[in-house]
Structure 1
Amino acid sequence: MSTNPEFLEVNPLFARPGEATLAPRYTLGDTMMGPDTAFQIIHDEIKLDGISRLNLATFVSTWMDDQARRLYTESFDKNMIDKDEYPQTAAIEDYCWHIIADLWHAPEPRTTIGTSTIGSSEACMLGGLAFKRRWQQARRAAGLSTEKPNLVMSSAVQVCWEKFCNYWDVEMRLVPVTDEHPCLDGHDLADYVDENTIGVVAIMGVTYTGIYEPVQEIAAALDEIQTRTGLDVPIHVDAASGGMIAPFLQPDLVWDFRLERVHSISTSAHKYGLVYPGLGWVVWRSPDLLPEDLIFRVSYLGGDMPTLALNFSRPGAQVLLQYYLFLRLGFEGYRLVQQASQDVAMYLSKGIAEHGAFTLVSDGSDIPVFAWRLAEGHTDKWNLFHLSDRLRARGWLVPAYPMPDDLSDRIVQRIVVRNGLSLDLASRLLTAISEETAYLDRLDGPMPVEEHQPGFTH
């Protein structure tokens, strides 16, 4: 047996003569390898991955039906940016974001503008760029400096906003979450907003807890600031998860383009849009809110199509999968799927709340995501990182991690319920949590605390 870490010793078809080989890990091999051999090497290695259906850390879809898989294999070679070569795929992209604009109550959904993206992170980047460019244009027109723009958001914001501010030289102004204000709710917003504020980010489905930030209250606070100071600050709603939940499960909640101050909204299609990764969407309330100089125009079918993206070549297959789901499910189908996920989340959170060792931080009544912490005084022998490790050994990926900033000494554990987690599987999970908690409670001494890392997936 080779002990050289640069090579992987394999016998991929187990006992077939002549197939034992050393496969290089970090350099290109000198000779060709049979396709069956190459396939078997990788096929065997990925068996060491976790089971995706039991991954309750990720928001990303892990299941689609057989028809969707067939459509995927028929279209994974389509390049979304090549609208002249694939005009019907381009047209279907157009259908999708118009459907989403209508779902989010755009005043004129057929005449507004939007685009598909590689996940909601790119969509957030585009929303942030539109804010910065509009602010710069307004400042130049008024003969004012365009230095030191800032963007205001909760300290519980997703990391893509940190990247945006870093990459595009924007000051990141974080409003800390506290016990009294567990999310951005408009409280003390005037302390963070000034003439250099390009916008405020509101989150529909906070990554840490799954709760909605009250966009209507944030808008009201900005209305009051404008009345006092004249500052007109727009909102981008980061609805990576909630954008495809709220329209179906909380239709009366006002968070979207019904609020005039909301200029743009982004969502992740590969989360509760139910599509395989990676696809996102961003839509603007009206075309004038997206600066024209951010748009590139290409012709197709003798017409004109606007394009905007940070990526150029990108897959078109997921766009087709999104339209497949819009056709397949319709409004009622999406409502039923999302309601089923929320029912499972509420079932699980109720079981956690009744256990006695835990205190709920959220219950899954916004998006189907909830979090909990150890009950005060329950134990000094173990923490939630230890429980996460015990559950991982049984195949369940249930992350534990610290809350941000002012609550960083608080460790919570979180479950994301997606399409594919049945009530039966959920009951097995509750049993596993109960059994592993009982095991930890029986320990004679404390578990080690060194080397624990947050098992946290956005």
Structure 2
Amino acid sequence: MALHERDAIRDEMTDPLFGSGALRGLVPKYTFPLGATRSDDAFQLVADEMLLDGNSRQNLATFCQTWEEPQVHELMDRAIDKNMIDQDEYPQTAEIERRCVHMIADLWNAPGAANTVGTSAVGSSEACMLAGMAATRRWRAKRQAAGLPSDRPNMVCGPVQVVWHKFARYWDVEIREVPMAPGSYAMTPEQMLEQVDENTVFVVATLGVTYTGAYEQIADMAAALDRLQAESGLDVDIHVDAASGGFLAPFCAPDLVWDFRLERVKSISASGHKFGLAPLGVGWVVWRDSGELPAELVFHVTYLGGDMPVFQINFSRSAGPVVAQYYDFVRLGRDGYRAIHGSCYETGQLLAATIPTLGPFEIVFGSTPQDGIPAVTWKIIDGQDPGYTLYDLADRLRMRGWQVPAYPLTGAASNIAVQRVLVRQGVSRDMVATLIDDLRDAVDHMHRHPVTVPMTPEESSGFSHL
């Protein structure tokens, strides 16, 4: 290399970051770049774009983890190049996944937890899909063996997260969702029985309804289905969508019976990256025993080396979140999870006690371990018109960086708007005290500056890819 060329490279290396390279001009946003960019420049460009996102720690709408210990970050980095699906190349990572499944089965009181069957997933949504596929296949096999038609499957549920609507549409299953009504925000056993018939694949019971945070009465549902079978011979399985409660109830409400202690519960799904405390990208589904997972749904992959049984919708994915989940289990144990979540419940109860003092607000759900997740949901008291909506209040709080969602309920309660705070690891008592101050200031501002045209749900909607 000529000396003058070396000097040019040396000068380029010492150029100020914002005075050279790609940062001096515009980078194409929707056409593929023609040439390469220096790594420092590309990093700065992307990092600057991310400044426009909200602060994830102030996102009180999300159920997902927004804080992790430094050791988790290091483990995620070490696992970034490990493919979770490639069990032949990464046998110890596969072993870690198996250990997690057995630990979760033990947590959920599966009979013979050491020999149970389950799998990790990208999140609880994929885990729900897998459980639904298995239940549908079991129902069809049972119907066909009895010489009965199997072309009109349905599922019965209360107010559910959108994944179940996706499942029903993707797999042609009729969804019979018990609608909300004023004062009734979850499915009751009586409402469930009104929807169940011979074509019901399964009942989906929710341990932590997305809209409010409350637990559905799973033990009562199981007892009602037991009575139905005794009276009619109709045998209907239960799947528990424990996306949030599955990593809360075992620690903070251990006497609450919702899991495999109920014989009618055939599968349970949960999200590891919610109250399982793992970073984004991991969910879990566990079946009561191996007989509940039809063998024909398991694929055997050989082209990565070895014979690998696979039962996931997704294929290649980083092992990082699964490894991090195992770290959390080993690091915290039952006592650690109980301490973290117990603190969240206490902080939520403080918020629930304070909200009614700030304005014309009524608590819909208030962070009690026996009844639901550490969340606080409130609405404007019936008959009161403070001159603003909860959508206006949510919009005002955004100015301080808080994401405190306001949204309508469903069914006959769709005219009721609620607002909700999720209290998770990292949402400290001091942080909530600051939120309370900002809520008080926001309400005071609304009184001093009345809203001419109150905001609607459509106007409050956030970002859309469309």
- Same fold, TM exceeding 0.5? yes
For the structure 1 residues 122 and 17, does the alpha-carbon distance in structure 2 shift closer, same or farther, using more than 3 Å as the test? closer
For the structure 1 residues 442 and 109, does the alpha-carbon distance in structure 2 shift closer, same or farther, using more than 3 Å as the test? same
**Comparing 441-450 with 351-360, which one deviates more in the overlay?**
441-450
Residue 86 of structure 1: aligned partner: 90
Q: Does 2:152 correspond to 1:148?
A: yes
**1:190 is aligned with what amino acid?**
L
Distance 1:111 1:223 in 2: 26
Instruction: Name which of 97, 103, 108 aligns with 1:104.
Output: 108
Matches within 5 A, 1:158-307: 158-297=161-300, 306-307=309-310
Shift of 1:186: 0.6
Shift of 1:189: 2.2
Contact residue 381 and residue 447 of structure 1 kept, 8 A: no
The Cα offsets for residues 261-284 of structure 1, whole Å up to 9 and x where unpaired, read as 000000000000101111000000
**2:141 is aligned with what amino acid?**
Q
Distance 2:21 2:287 in 1: 61
Deviating 4+ runs (over 6 angstroms): none
Residue 20 of structure 1: aligned partner: 24
SS in 1 for 2:17: coil
Distance 1:317 1:77 in 2: 9
Distance 2:413 2:448 in 1: 29
For the structure 1 residues 236 and 445, does the alpha-carbon distance in structure 2 shift closer, same or farther, using more than 3 Å as the test? closer
**Comparing 438-447 with 248-257, which one deviates more in the overlay?**
438-447
Instruction: Name which of 378, 383, 389 aligns with 2:389.
Output: 383
Residue 56 of structure 2: aligned partner: 52
The Cα offsets for residues 269-310 of structure 1, whole Å up to 9 and x where unpaired, read as 00001011110000001110111111124589x997642100
Contact residue 260 and residue 266 of structure 2 kept, 8 A: yes
SS in 2 for 1:373: strand
Instruction: Name which of 418, 423, 440 aligns with 2:429.
Output: 423
Aligned positions, number: 446
Contact residue 12 and residue 20 of structure 1 kept, 8 A: no
Shift of 1:355: 2.7
Instruction: Name which of 430, 441, 447 aligns with 1:441.
Output: 447
Distance 1:116 1:394 in 2: 37
For the structure 1 residues 18 and 61, does the alpha-carbon distance in structure 2 shift closer, same or farther, using more than 3 Å as the test? closer
The Cα offsets for residues 381-425 of structure 1, whole Å up to 9 and x where unpaired, read as 210000000000111000000001111000000001110011111
Q: Does 2:413 correspond to 1:371?
A: no
The Cα offsets for residues 223-246 of structure 1, whole Å up to 9 and x where unpaired, read as 121122211000000000000000
Q: TM-score, normalised by structure 2?
A: 0.92
For the structure 1 residues 70 and 227, does the alpha-carbon distance in structure 2 shift closer, same or farther, using more than 3 Å as the test? same
For the structure 1 residues 84 and 440, does the alpha-carbon distance in structure 2 shift closer, same or farther, using more than 3 Å as the test? same
**Identity %, equivalent residues:** 49
SS in 2 for 1:48: coil
Distance 1:244 1:138 in 2: 32
Contact residue 78 and residue 86 of structure 1 kept, 8 A: yes
Contact residue 203 and residue 237 of structure 1 kept, 8 A: yes
The Cα offsets for residues 307-342 of structure 1, whole Å up to 9 and x where unpaired, read as 210011112111100010111111101110111111
Shift of 1:185: 2.0
Q: Does 2:117 correspond to 1:113?
A: yes
For the structure 1 residues 181 and 225, does the alpha-carbon distance in structure 2 shift closer, same or farther, using more than 3 Å as the test? farther
Contact residue 115 and residue 308 of structure 1 kept, 8 A: yes
- List alignment gaps of at least 5 residues for structure 2: 1-14
- List alignment gaps of at least 5 residues for structure 1: 1-10
The Cα offsets for residues 113-167 of structure 1, whole Å up to 9 and x where unpaired, read as 000001000000011001100011011111111111000001x200000000000
Contact residue 117 and residue 280 of structure 1 kept, 8 A: yes
**2:327 is aligned with what amino acid?**
Y
More helix per residue:
2
